[in-house]
């Protein structure tokens, strides 16, 4: 069973979960853990409701078990609908309330700079999350302190377009003093995570920067499963009949 199928099975067994959001970020999270991040690097999933993707990758890396995945969101499970740093090995920050993860990532990156510690901090935010003022307040702090050890990755799956059109997020982050990495801005998420991993790792390490970096990636909600582009799937689990069809589609 591949990671996308595991995400669907977790939600099915629990009777709910943010499957489309998790499928949207899965290639990004997988790339970070399988080729981008080094031992001193840190990751913050600010888009906490996409945690099914993180759980699947943590299990793949051996930080949690397959049994943990099976028990997702059940009584006594360490895996909830949002990641809890006090319960889940490998989770740095408890997130879920949108706009809270990036300020924490900025603080961690600043602490690393003050202490002279090696390593980069990666923070994954959603495009809808970028409606939160705390995101831009944190961005100002990151720019002011020239946090060249911070990379924000925006999962731009256009889920917020109906409410607020964010326009060119690259220009917005650029106006806040970020170096905006455009090489993968319009990448098609039919790609293998290894492709994204190579682009991030070699691209970001080949440029000379003196401040924070923003990477905006156009993604697709429910990537790999056509029906999950419908907003009605935001927080629902498949029926038994749908499950078989979806798992087949995600092979």
pLDDT digits (tens, 9 = 90+) for 127-172: 999 999 999 999 999 999 999 999 999 999 888 888 888 888 999 9
The torsion angles phi and psi of 84, rounded to 5 degrees, stand at -115, 115
Q: Which domains does the chain have, with CATH numbers?
A: 3-249 (3.40.50.970)
Going from the C-alpha of 153 to that of each of 25, 125, 129, 179, the distances in angstroms are: 10, 6, 12, 12
Name the nearest CA neighbour of 125 among 234, 39, 20, 43: 43
Which strands, in side-by-side order, build the sheet including 213-218?
A: 42-45, 121-126, 150-156, 213-218, 179-181
Distance CA 244, CA 77 (A): 26
Which residues make Cβ contacts (< 8 Å) with residue 90, sequence separation at least 6?
Answer: 58, 61, 63, 64
Question: Which tokens is 118 given?
Answer: 């090696």
CB 167 within 8 A of CB 160: no
Residues forming beta bridges with residue 42, ordered by sequence position: 121
CB 231 within 8 A of CB 161: no
Q: Residue for token digits 């991993």?
A: 197
Q: What is the mean pLDDT of residues 66-93?
A: 94
14-65 pLDDT, tens per residue?
999 999 999 999 989 998 998 889 999 999 999 999 999 999 999 999 999 9
The torsion angles phi and psi of 180, rounded to 5 degrees, stand at -100, 120
At 251 the pLDDT is: 86
């Amino acid at each position: 069973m591949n990671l996308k199928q595991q995400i669907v099975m977790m939600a099915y067994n629990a009777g709910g979960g943010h499957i489309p959001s998790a499928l949207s970020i899965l290639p990004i999270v997988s790339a970070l853990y399988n080729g981008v991040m080094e031992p001193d690097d840190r990751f913050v999933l600010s888009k906490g409701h996409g945690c099914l993707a993180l759980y699947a990758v943590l299990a793949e890396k051996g930080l949690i078990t397959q049994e943990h995945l099976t028990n997702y969101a059940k009584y006594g499970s360490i895996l909830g609908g949002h990641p809890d740093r006090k319960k889940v090995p490998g989770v740095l920050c408890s997130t879920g309330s949108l706009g809270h993860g990036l300020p924490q990532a900025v603080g961690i990156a600043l602490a690393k700079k003050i202490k002279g510690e090696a390593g980069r901090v990666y923070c994954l935010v959603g495009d809808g999350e970028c409606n939160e003022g705390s995101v831009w307040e944190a961005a100002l702090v990151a720019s002011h302190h020239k946090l060249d050890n911070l990379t924000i990755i925006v999962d731009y799956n256009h889920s917020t377009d109906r409410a607020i059109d964010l326009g060119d997020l690259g220009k917005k982050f650029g106006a806040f003093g970020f170096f905006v990495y455009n090489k993968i801005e319009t990448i098609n998420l039919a790609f293998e995570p290894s492709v994204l991993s190579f682009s991030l790792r070699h691209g970001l390490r080949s440029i000379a920067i003196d401040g924070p970096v923003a990477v905006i990636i156009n993604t697709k909600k429910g990537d790999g499963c056509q029906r999950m582009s419908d907003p009605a799937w935001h927080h629902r689990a498949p029926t038994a009949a749908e499950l078989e069809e979806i798992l087949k589609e995600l092979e």
